Structure 1
Amino acid sequence: MSRNVTLSCIDIPRFGLLHLANVHLSWAHHGFHHEYERLNRLIGSRYPFGVRADLMVGDFNAPAGEQAYHHIVGNGEYVDQYHELHPQRLYEPTFRGQIDGWRHSPPRRIDFSFKRNHQPLRVREITPIFNDAFYPAVSDHFGYLARFELF
C-alpha cells in the first residue's frame, strides 16, 4: 500500500512559483486521512519560498461527493477544478472496468485536480483524456488535460 507523492515547483515567467503535487492516496479505510494531512503539511512547508499558487492532482481514492472528498473541499481551502467547470458532472467516473476496491460498486470519480482557493490561477478548460474518446486508453484511469489562466 505504498503511496508516493511527486512534488514540483515551477517558476513561471511573469507569474512566479507554481507548486504541483501529483498524488496517489489510499482509500479512507486504508489511511487516506493521515496521508492527506501529511500532504497538506508538506505543501504548507513550501509556502515560505514564495509559492503563488498550488495544485494537487492525481488519484485521491476519495469518491466525489463522499466523506473523504468533502474532507478536501468542505472547508473551502481547495476547489475541485473539474466540478468548477462542469458542476452537472460531479459523479462522472474517471476510470473503466473493475479496479481494486470497486468490485461491488459502480465506477465513481476518484481522480481530481484541486486548486487552492483564492489564488491567481483560473481553470479555463479541463477535459478527460486517455478514455478512447479523446485519446486511446493507456490505463484503467483516465487523465485530464487542463488549461489555466494565470493572473
Structure 2
Amino acid sequence: MGLFEMYFWMIIIICGVLNLFIITTTEDLKNEKRFKTYLKISFCVGLLGIVMVSIGWNYLCGYQCLVFTFSPLITLLVCKAVMILSKKITKKEGFQINKINQFIGSYKIELADGIYQKNNGELKYEKYYRWYSGFITVIPIIISFSLLILIKEWTC
C-alpha cells in the first residue's frame, strides 16, 4: 500500500467519522447558524471527493468515492429533513434518546444533547423520541448504502 492509497483511505475513514459525529449531534442542527456551518464543512469534504475522482485518485469502483465523500452532506440533509418532517407531521419537537448503562442488564434513558445545544425535551414522550431517534439514525445509513449499491451495480 502506497502513501497516496493510505491518504485516500484516511479521507474515507474521516468521512465515516464525520457521519457518526453528525448523527450523534443532531441537536446542534436545530440552530440554523450551526447547521449552515456543518453544511459548509460537509460540502467542502464532498468537493474533495470530486477532485479525487477528477485526478484519478480513486481506489474504489466507479463513483463510490463520491458517495463516501458526500455522505456527510447527505447525512446532514437527511437528518434535517427528518427533523422538519417529524415536527410538521406530529406537531412536536423531536429529541434524540441516549441510553446510558448503569448496571449490567439495566439502563437509564436520557435525552441526548448536542455539543453546543442543551436538550429541552421531556421524557413523557419517550415512545415518540424512540421512533424519532431510530429514524434519524437509520435513514441516512440506509440511503448511503443504497447509493453505494446502486453505483456499484451501474458503474462496475
TM-score by length of 1: 0.36
* Bigger share in helix: 2
Which structure has the bigger radius of gyration? Answer: 2
Between 1 and 2, higher relative CO (CA 8 Å, sep ≥ 6) is seen in: 2
Q: TM-score, normalised by structure 2?
A: 0.35
* Higher-strand-fraction structure: 1
